[in-house]
Amino acid sequence: MTEAPALPKVTPYLIERAEDLCPRRLRLAFQNQKGDGGAFLRGRVRDALIEDARAAHAELGPPNPASFHVRTELLPEEQAVQRRAIDHYLAIFGDEPVRAIDHDDFDRPVERQGVLVGGWIDLACEGPDGEPELRQFELWGRPMFAEPADNMTILLAVLRLSRWVGDRALRIRLADLVGGRVVESTVPAPARAQLVDLYEQRIATITGRTRRAEAIAGDHCTACPYVPGCPAFR
């Protein structure tokens, strides 16, 4: 039996670089083709932190500090980042009662109009009155934008969480767990229509540019997983 072709897949990086990424790399990534890139090692710290944060909010209440553990299998410098992140998480959120929701439906890409929508959803939770909140964590010193229109990771997360949020307003908090900063925004239900428009505009840009096959050398080549066979490097 012939396997069905993989659905195209969009990530926050592709949405962000829709207009200027090399068309060849954009096409291969959007077609969900595997490259030869190595493991995303920064995810080791993130994955451990997310696992513990979700466990810390298994029940409605402030985070349980006993749920956080510095992983011995991590490298010493990774352990230092994780330890700092734990301290800042408890300092920022330690007095706030929330309950983590079941993330099973949000830990894998979801299909939206024939496109798999990926990206990270760190901690989705509800407050004492059932108010929904998305907590995203920054560990690598990137610019801090909590507005979905300015942060493609948050944009895709908001779209993926729409069914769970329903007609409620979604509170978004982006916490820099290395620097100890937090920024936030709120997305009322009516405002999500504008975010859908932005997403669809970016998808249209991607599909339009992926019809071109030429390779363009640039800063995106450094971490490109599709360099083998690239015409720009012949």
Residue 80 lies in a domain: yes
Residue 45 lies in a domain: yes
% of the chain residues with pLDDT over 90: 74
Q: Higher model confidence: residue 3 or residue 128? A: 128
Residue 168 lies in a domain: yes
State the average pLDDT over residues 54-69. 96
**How high is the pLDDT of residue 34?**
80
**How high is the pLDDT of residue 61?**
96
Residue 52 lies in a domain: yes
Lowest mean pLDDT among 1-15, 55-69, 80-94: 1-15
pLDDT in tens, 166-215: 999 999 999 999 999 999 999 999 999 999 999 999 999 999 998 876 88
Residue 4 lies in a domain: no
Residue 134 lies in a domain: yes
Residue 48 lies in a domain: yes
**How high is the pLDDT of residue 3?**
53
Q: Which domain holds residue 211?
A: 9-233
Q: Higher model confidence: residue 226 or residue 19? A: 19
**How high is the pLDDT of residue 225?**
85
**How high is the pLDDT of residue 1?**
44
pTM for this entry: 0.90
Q: Higher model confidence: residue 59 or residue 226? A: 59
Residue 229 above 70 pLDDT? yes
State the average pLDDT over residues 52-81. 95
Residue 112 above 70 pLDDT? yes
- Name the domain count of the chain: 1
Q: Higher model confidence: residue 120 or residue 40? A: 120
**How high is the pLDDT of residue 2?**
46
**How high is the pLDDT of residue 233?**
72
Residue 1 lies in a domain: no
**How high is the pLDDT of residue 49?**
95
- As a three-state string, the secondary structure of the chain is CCCCCCCCEECHHHHHCCCCCCHHHHHHHHCCCCCCCCCCCHHHHHHHHHHHHHHHCCCCECCCHHHCCCCCCCCHHHHHHHHHHHHHHHHHHCCCCEEECCCHHHCCCEEECCEEECCCCCEEEECCCCCEEEEEEECCCCCCCCCHHHCHHHHHHHHHCHHHHCCCCEEEEEEECCCCEEEEEEECHHHHHHHHHHHHHHHHHHHHHCCCCCCCCCHHHCCCCCCCCCHHHC
